[in-house]
Structure formats: C-alpha cells, structure tokens
Amino acid sequence: MIFFQFYMGVFYFLCSFFNCLRLVALSPINNRLLGERNLNHENTMLAGNNISIERDHYIEETNCSIVVKHENPVFYTLKKVDKWTGGSAIRIKKNVLKQEIEIKIAMDLFLNARRKYKDTVENINKVKLELALIESKIVVLKKKINILNDNEHNLDSGIENYRKKTNLLSSNLEMLNFKIDKIQEFFSSKKAFTTRKNTGTDIIRIFKIDREENFSMYERENMIKELENLLDERKGLLDEMEILLDEREDLLNKKELTKTQIFILTQKLNDKYNNHNEHLKRLDKLQEAKKTYKEIHKKTMKNFLYIVIRGYFNVLFR
C-alpha cells in the first residue's frame, strides 16, 4: 500500500510538472499571468533571501484574478471574480491549479533571472571585445606618433645642417666681397689711365699709381681675370645659398605639418584613452550586475525547486 501511494505520488508529480511545462509553452496564462514578462532589476528586489513581486492578473480559463505577494515560503491569494457582476471574492480550493500557478510563476522568475544573467555575460564579452579594439587602436596611434616624432627630430637635424651650410656660405661671401671690394678700390684709386684697342680686347694701361710704380699689361690682365672669377664665384655662392634657403624653408614647412599631425593624433589618442576608461567603468558595472543576477538566479532556482518539491509532497500525502 505504501509503495502504491509512493508511485501514485510520483505519477501525480510528473503530471503536474509536465502540465506546468504545457502552460509555459501554450497556455494563455503565459501572456496574462505576469503581464510584462521582462522583469527588470527594478521589478525584482533582492532583500536577504526574499524576492518581492506584486501584480494583478486575469486568468481567462478560470475567470480568476490573482494578486501575488511572493516571499519565501510562497503565499498566494486567489480570488474568484464574476466578470459580469464583479461578485464577491472567494478562495479557490483547487490545489492542483494553485500548484500549477505557483510553479509557473517560479519558473518565470527563474527563466527571467537566467536570461538576465546570460545577457549580462554577453554584454561583458562585447565590452571586452570593444576594449581590445580600442587598445589595438591606441597601440597604432602610439606607433604613428613615435614615427612622427622621429621625423620631426630628423627634420630638426636637417634644418640645423642647412643652417651650418648657409653660415659657411655667408662667411665665404663675406671673404669674396672683401676681395672684390679691395680690387675695385685698387682700380678706382688710380690717378691716370688710358685705354686702347688690342685684338678686340679692352686693355687698361696705368701710367701712374699712388706708389709711383708701373704695372705691366700682364699683371693688370691677371687682376681683371681674378676679379671676374671672384664675381662668378660670388654669384654661384648666392645661387647655392638661395637653393639652401628654399630647401630649409621646405623642411620648416614639413616640420610644421608634422607638428600639426602629432597634435591631431595626440587628440585622437586622448579620446581613445577616455573611451577606454569609460568602457572600463561600464565593465565594472556589468561585473557587479553579473554578481547580482547570478545571486538572483541561484535564489530563484532554489525557490523553483522548493515549490516543485513542495507540490510533489502535497500531492503525495494529500
């Protein structure tokens, strides 16, 4: 007899459990029992071992309105409502229906907590992936900035070299100008001179100089050629200096452009760092939410198992 009651109890429990699964999948209770099934963290309050939820709902099959005050252990007040006259409330004495509703609510809470927990874990993985992408972009930006800094250093070295070259050319020009001035001063200081044509070339013959000395025609021609060479050399130095100044100007422009690029990349790098810090804060919040939902998940699972086992023993020893 005892074994018979035990097997009957198992049979009733399995019937109740699979009937509960049917309600979850097919019954309109699934749409009407908890109204909005997306129970967020504000709707589900964790206080010690208690989870408090209050809702008014209408069950179409039984014309019942259910007011749920959910704590551990679970208590429900089921009231009969006349949909035509709004008649007086009476307690439903259908234990099977009551147990089905209790299991259904506990299962909804459990599945909702599980979904919230999985969503939080998924969001954590997304944030970690975004953090990895941001960190890779930060590495790339740092490399670009280092390259630009090296380029700027090389440009500074090039500009310094051009400055030394232009200073050397300036010194050479000063020496040439000094020689040219001396030669021109020599020619302009003569007291008397005449010119005559000789094989189509102007030859200057000086009759008298300050020191009362006579210069030969060969010496005068050499001095004139030296003057012409010095003038040509000065012109070459001036052209070379102009080229150096242009190249130096190009280097200065490139340096200015490099500084602008470094500034822009530095701004981007700072933005990436700020974005990285924001993602870290978001990740910390999600980690805290993960702990909370994991705790809720455990408690709702324990509550669901408790209700199922309690319903089983209620049927077994009824």
Within this chain, do residues 290 and 182 fall inside the same structural domain, yes or no?
A: yes
Q: d(Cα 151, Cα 253) in Å, to the nearest integer?
A: 13
Whole domain around residue 47: which residue ranges? 2-122+297-316
Report how far apart, in Å, the C-alpha atoms of 51 and of each of 45, 54, 55 are.
6, 10, 13
Q: d(Cα 219, Cα 192) in Å, to the nearest integer?
A: 17
Within this chain, do residues 100 and 207 fall inside the same structural domain, yes or no?
A: no
Given a contact cutoff of 8 angstroms between Cβ atoms, the answer to whether 52 and 45 are in contact is: yes
pLDDT value at residue 43:
35
Within this chain, do residues 39 and 185 fall inside the same structural domain, yes or no?
A: no
Indicate if the alpha-carbon torsion angle 3, 5, 7, 13 is positive or negative: negative
Given a contact cutoff of 8 angstroms between Cβ atoms, the answer to whether 116 and 46 are in contact is: no
User: What's the average pLDDT block by block, 10 residues per block, for the chain (318 residues)?
Assistant: 54 58 42 36 33 36 39 37 36 51 78 87 90 89 88 84 82 80 67 41 40 51 73 80 83 86 88 89 88 85 79 62
Within this chain, do residues 280 and 171 fall inside the same structural domain, yes or no?
A: yes
Within this chain, do residues 289 and 304 fall inside the same structural domain, yes or no?
A: no
Within this chain, do residues 303 and 283 fall inside the same structural domain, yes or no?
A: no
Q: Is 33 left (phi over 0), alpha (psi -120 to 50) or beta?
A: alpha
Within this chain, do residues 171 and 256 fall inside the same structural domain, yes or no?
A: yes
How many domains is the chain built from?
2
pLDDT value at residue 79:
40
pLDDT value at residue 314:
65
Within this chain, do residues 95 and 161 fall inside the same structural domain, yes or no?
A: no
Within this chain, do residues 160 and 305 fall inside the same structural domain, yes or no?
A: no
Q: d(Cα 278, Cα 273) in Å, to the nearest integer?
A: 9
Neighbours of 100 (CB within 10 A): 20
Q: Assign residue 268 the CATH number of its domain.
A: 1.10.287
Within this chain, do residues 57 and 132 fall inside the same structural domain, yes or no?
A: no
pLDDT value at residue 164:
83
Within this chain, do residues 17 and 140 fall inside the same structural domain, yes or no?
A: no
Within this chain, do residues 142 and 49 fall inside the same structural domain, yes or no?
A: no
pLDDT value at residue 85:
35
